[in-house]
């Protein structure tokens, strides 16, 4: 037993039976905040997390490839299927994806909040009304701007190019304290500099009496007369994934915070259909990596990987944000074997990389229960959104050349390395098939939309599921549209707001 009431599989010797006021499935950005606020309101709270509990002592002992195995779901290889399969990494640990994200912090854009109010009837969520929740979250997770000292040369080189072209750019805001710039944000911070929720909201909830079960998978949700009455599941062996003990929770209220993929999946798997919108409207912020070779030494794996940005075309839905990975992760992608791998290793210190991310305004995806009983994710990349991605790739290439790059690799199959700024025009004069672009995505949202327009939403403005008395959803699935920016602050801020709503209405939910 860790931190008084955080239990891992090693602490459990028999079946677990709990009857709390609130059960929360998921301990990431949405679940951790809910647990903190509701336990602070005097409610008895139990949190179930399928992943394990990992600390900096364990992070520092693992190389990045091993960290991916233990901290990511499916080794980081969750896939959204479509014309071009897109890798969609998801965290699986106490703290959820906040443990393995890049730490980037944005508030919800004003235009997005206005759109949600106008089109979906989301109430009491204007920029002014959300301000105190943004402020509280930012204070708790210590949001501060990345400094040049820890940015690393990868970010500084790209900034040099953006400045030369007169493009708006800057250092990103991160949730961090005393960052060492070690470059391992995406593999668990070995210094506890990145303030993931297992370092703040989860400990606060534990201090207030919440109980957190790691290695605890929720499997069956039982409904009776429009209410959740029981959750059943398993305590899992962390190494093998085998069931050790049974889990049974009978709460007065259930908060589902398993993320935009697994929240709809859990409900669908239990034949809790809610309405036709559940599992639909998935957005994922499609992204691609653009790399450049310089004569100078970059060593992009040193410094904050995602420390700077270019937002000159953010109004068009195009964001450029830093990205880099250690050699043992990057080299197999660049060239898996043979002479090409040796050459890539020789050049690695001279490479710089940056990410292109687009707000998927017209694209859409879905989550269903597959024939193997696992989540089956599909995604249709709209041609208009794809054009934005290609434009973003062109912008990144131009910036790299302005910074002095010798060559630029676009990540598009069929296009040779660009050797001059003139080559960038090829992206607009030649056909670029969707299937030719090596893509990833990082921010699944939208599969259980919130709002008061019930035909087009799954939950109300505070996350309560339409038609069920005691079920809330608290994760990225409730956001009606793509954000265009990294979502962790938005998820935490709405979780804080919605948890406060539950606490303020305890009489209605816990009579």
| Res. 331: pLDDT tops 80 | no
Q: Tens digits of per-residue pLDDT, 212-268?
A: 999 999 999 999 999 999 999 999 999 899 999 999 999 999 999 999 999 999 999
Token pair listed for 255: 């908060």
Q: In angstroms, rounded to a whole number, what is the distance separating the alpha carbons of residues 205 and 34?
A: 9
User: Of the candidates 216, 172, 257, 160, which has an alpha carbon nearest to the alpha carbon of residue 17?
Assistant: 216
SS3 300: coil
pLDDT of residue 333: 74
- DSSP label of 126: S
Question: pLDDT class for 332, splitting at 50, 70, 90?
Answer: confident
What average pLDDT does this structure show over 169-197? 95
What average pLDDT does this structure show over 304-313? 96
Helices (H), 72-126: 110-120
Token pair listed for 460: 């109300």
Q: For residues 359 and 60, which has the higher predicted lDDT (pLDDT)?
A: 359
In order of their start, the domains of the chain are 6-54+93-101+106-140+196-280+445-509 (3.50.50.60), 145-186+284-441 (3.30.410)
Q: In angstroms, rounded to a whole number, what is the distance separating the alpha carbons of residues 257 and 31?
A: 5
Q: In angstroms, rounded to a whole number, what is the distance separating the alpha carbons of residues 96 and 47?
A: 12
From the number of C-beta atoms within 10 Å of its C-beta (0-12, 13-18, 19+), residue 372 rates as: exposed
| Res. 339: pLDDT tops 90 | no
User: Of the candidates 268, 264, 303, which has an alpha carbon nearest to the alpha carbon of residue 281?
Assistant: 264
Say if residues 302 and 180 touch (Cβ distance below 8 Å). no
CA distances from 140 to 28, 202, 259, 493 (A): 15, 11, 21, 11
Q: In angstroms, rounded to a whole number, what is the distance separating the alpha carbons of residues 31 and 133?
A: 16
Look over the chain and give the mean of its residue pLDDT values, rounded to a whole number.
94
pLDDT of residue 3: 58
Tokens 């131009």 identify what position? 398
Q: Tens digits of per-residue pLDDT, 398-433?
A: 999 999 999 999 989 888 889 999 999 999 999 999
Contacts of 223 (CB under 8 A, 6+ apart): 229, 272, 468
Radius of gyration of the chain (CA): 22
Chain-centroid distance of CA 34 in Å reads: 17
What phi and psi values does residue 386 have, to the nearest 5 degrees? -65, -35
What phi and psi values does residue 157 have, to the nearest 5 degrees? -65, -45
| Res. 478: pLDDT tops 80 | yes
Kindly list the catalytic residues.
443
User: Of the candidates 363, 418, 415, 412, which has an alpha carbon nearest to the alpha carbon of residue 386?
Assistant: 363
Q: In angstroms, rounded to a whole number, what is the distance separating the alpha carbons of residues 102 and 104?
A: 6
Token pair listed for 294: 């310089």
Q: Tens digits of per-residue pLDDT, 363-404?
A: 999 999 999 999 999 999 999 999 999 999 999 999 999 999
| Res. 82: pLDDT tops 90 | yes
| Res. 347: pLDDT tops 70 | yes
Say if residues 113 and 130 touch (Cβ distance below 8 Å). yes
Tokens 């804080």 identify what position? 496
Q: In angstroms, rounded to a whole number, what is the distance separating the alpha carbons of residues 90 and 88?
A: 6
Helices (H), 51-120: 56-59, 64-71, 110-120
Say if residues 346 and 357 touch (Cβ distance below 8 Å). no
Going 218 to 223 to 224 to 227, the CA torsion angle's sign is: positive
pLDDT of residue 309: 97
């Amino acid at each position: 037993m860790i931190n008084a009431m955080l239990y891992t599989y090693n602490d459990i010797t028999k079946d677990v039976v709990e009857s709390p006021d609130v059960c929360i499935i998921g301990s990431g950005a949405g679940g951790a905040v809910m647990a903190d606020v509701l336990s602070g309101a005097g409610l008895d709270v139990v949190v179930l997390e399928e992943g394990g509990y990992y600390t900096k002592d364990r992070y520092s002992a693992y190389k990045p490839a091993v960290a991916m195995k233990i901290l990511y779901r499916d080794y980081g290889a969750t896939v959204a299927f479509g014309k071009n399969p897109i890798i969609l990494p998801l965290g699986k640990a106490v703290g959820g994806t906040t443990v393995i994200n890049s730490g980037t912090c944005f508030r919800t854009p004003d235009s997005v909040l206005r759109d949600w109010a106008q089109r979906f009837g989301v109430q009491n969520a204007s920029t002014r009304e959300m301000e105190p929740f943004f402020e509280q979250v930012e204070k708790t997770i210590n949001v501060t701007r990345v400094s040049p000292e820890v940015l690393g040369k990868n970010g500084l080189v790209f900034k040099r190019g953006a400045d030369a072209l007169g493009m708006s750019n800057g250092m990103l805001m991160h949730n961090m304290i005393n960052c060492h710039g070690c470059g391992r944000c995406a593999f668990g911070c070995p210094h506890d500099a990145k303030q993931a929720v297992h370092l703040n909201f989860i400990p606060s909830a534990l201090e207030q009496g919440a109980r957190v079960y790691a290695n605890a998978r929720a499997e069956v949700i039982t409904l009776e007369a429009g209410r959740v009455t029981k959750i059943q599941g398993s305590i899992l062996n962390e190494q093998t994934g085998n069931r050790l003990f049974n889990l049974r929770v009978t709460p007065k209220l259930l908060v589902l915070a398993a993320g935009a993929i697994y929240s709809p999946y859990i409900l669908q798997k239990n034949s809790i259909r809610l309405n036709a919108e559940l599992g639909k409207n998935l957005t994922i912020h499609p992204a691609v990596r653009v790399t450049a070779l310089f004569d100078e030494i970059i060593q992009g794996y040193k410094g904050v990987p995602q420390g700077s940005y270019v937002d000159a075309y953010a109004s068009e839905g195009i964001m450029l944000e830093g990205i880099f990975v250690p050699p043992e992760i990057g080299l197999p992608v660049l060239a898996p074997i043979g002479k090409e791998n040796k050459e890539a290793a020789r050049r690695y210190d001279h490479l710089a990389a940056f990410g292109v991310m687009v707000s998927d305004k017209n694209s859409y995806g879905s989550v269903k229960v597959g024939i193997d009983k696992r989540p089956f994710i599909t995604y249709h990349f709209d041609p208009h959104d794809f054009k934005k991605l290609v434009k973003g790739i062109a912008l990144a290439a131009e910036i790299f050349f302005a910074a002095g790059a010798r060559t630029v690799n676009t990540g598009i199959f069929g296009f040779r390395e660009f050797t001059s700024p003139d080559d960038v025009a090829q992206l607009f004069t030649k056909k670029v098939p969707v299937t030719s672009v090596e893509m990833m995505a990082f921010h699944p949202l939208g599969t259980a939309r919130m709002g008061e327009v019930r035909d087009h939403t799954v939950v109300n403005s505070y996350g309560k599921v339409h038609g069920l008395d005691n079920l809330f959803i608290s994760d990225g699935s409730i956001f009606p549209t793509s954000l265009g920016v990294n979502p962790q602050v938005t998820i935490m801020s709405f979780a804080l707001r919605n948890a406060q709503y539950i606490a303020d209405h305890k009489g209605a939910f816990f009579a």
